[in-house]
């Protein structure tokens, strides 16, 4: 299956993992861990490590804690260890959170990407020195918290103006916006001028709101662009949600221009 045929980020991650875990390099790394870490002594391949992390008990806690130490350490195999922790959580996270919260997103692909990002954030921010039990449950709970935060952020957006749906989130800069409009209008003297006029026209036609136009302009069109992180802090949502919102606004403007 090619990357273009895969439905969403989860499919791509699973496809990459199928290839990675079968590689000789991954198997050699696991055997090296088996020599260094007693809890992984019986593991000969990545599938054995995932089996060790499968249950919700003390043995899986010990295996996950070892992998997290490798992830946050300076030794070899950090990427493989991170992938193993990710895949030990991903299936359960999909079953627990995706059915209940995916409707908050415009597209199943958006929901899948947000869930994947939530799992990654939960792993990256886990307090490795904490000696608390039930590590797997703690990581899943943290994943759910982050995923719900993203779902609420999407739900707070003005859905009345989201006229273009079901497309991948591709950030657009003013030059890209100007080029898209150029296909149906006379060539602009300056892409920035054309982008500004397109935003103004979209506001007049009620395709986007004034706040939408101001948000895009502050980041894309200002002489000193406001970083996404700063905009996110002002709006009280995540940086990823701001990126998604700006991308949707730009696509709505382009769609209105070519309609």
Query: Where are the chain's structural domains?
Result: 3-155, 160-258
Among residues 9, 233, 220, which one has the least CA distance to residue 114? 9
Among residues 137, 122, 128, 131, which one has the least CA distance to residue 56? 137
pLDDT in tens, 127-180: 877 667 788 888 999 898 888 887 777 655 434 334 333 434 434 444 444 454
SS3 76: coil
Return the C-alpha torsion angle 158, 236, 192, 162, nearest 10.
-20
pLDDT at 198 over 60: yes
SS3 191: helix
Which tokens hold the place of 135? 């590590």
Q: Do 114 and 105 touch, CB atoms closer than 8 A? A: yes
Which tokens hold the place of 57? 């008990």
Rounded distance, CA 237 to CA 215, Å? 13
| Predicted TM-score of the model (pTM) | 0.57
pLDDT in tens, 2-58: 333 335 677 888 888 888 888 899 999 999 999 888 889 889 999 999 898 888 878
Among residues 170, 140, 177, which one has the least CA distance to residue 247? 170
């Amino acid at each position: 299956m090619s990357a273009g045929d895969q439905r969403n980020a989860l499919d791509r991650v699973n496809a990459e993992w199928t290839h990675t875990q079968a590689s000789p390099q991954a198997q050699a790394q696991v055997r090296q861990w088996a020599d260094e870490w007693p809890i992984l002594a019986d593991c000969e391949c990545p599938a054995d490590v995932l089996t060790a992390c499968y249950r919700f008990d003390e043995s899986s806690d010990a295996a996950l804690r070892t992998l997290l130490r490798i992830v946050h350490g300076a030794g070899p195999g950090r990427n493989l260890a991170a992938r193993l922790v990710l895949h030990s959580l991903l299936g359960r996270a999909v079953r627990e959170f995706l059915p209940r919260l995916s409707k908050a997103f415009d597209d199943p692909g958006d929901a899948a990407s947000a869930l994947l990002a939530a799992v990654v954030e939960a792993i990256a921010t886990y307090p490795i020195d904490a000696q608390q039990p039930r590590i797997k449950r703690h990581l899943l709970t943290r994943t759910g918290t982050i995923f719900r935060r993203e779902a609420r952020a999407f739900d707070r957006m003005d859905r009345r103006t989201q006229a273009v749906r079901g497309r991948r989130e591709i950030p657009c800069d003013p030059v890209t916006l100007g080029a898209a409009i150029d296909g149906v209008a006379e060539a602009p003297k300056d892409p920035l001028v054309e982008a500004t006029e397109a935003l103004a026209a979209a506001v007049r036609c009620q395709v986007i709101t004034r706040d939408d136009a101001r948000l895009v302009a502050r980041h894309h069109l200002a002489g000193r662009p406001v970083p996404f992180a700063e905009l996110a802090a002002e709006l009280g949502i995540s940086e990823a949600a701001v990126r998604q919102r700006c991308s949707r606004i730009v696509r709505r403007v382009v769609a209105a221009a070519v309609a």
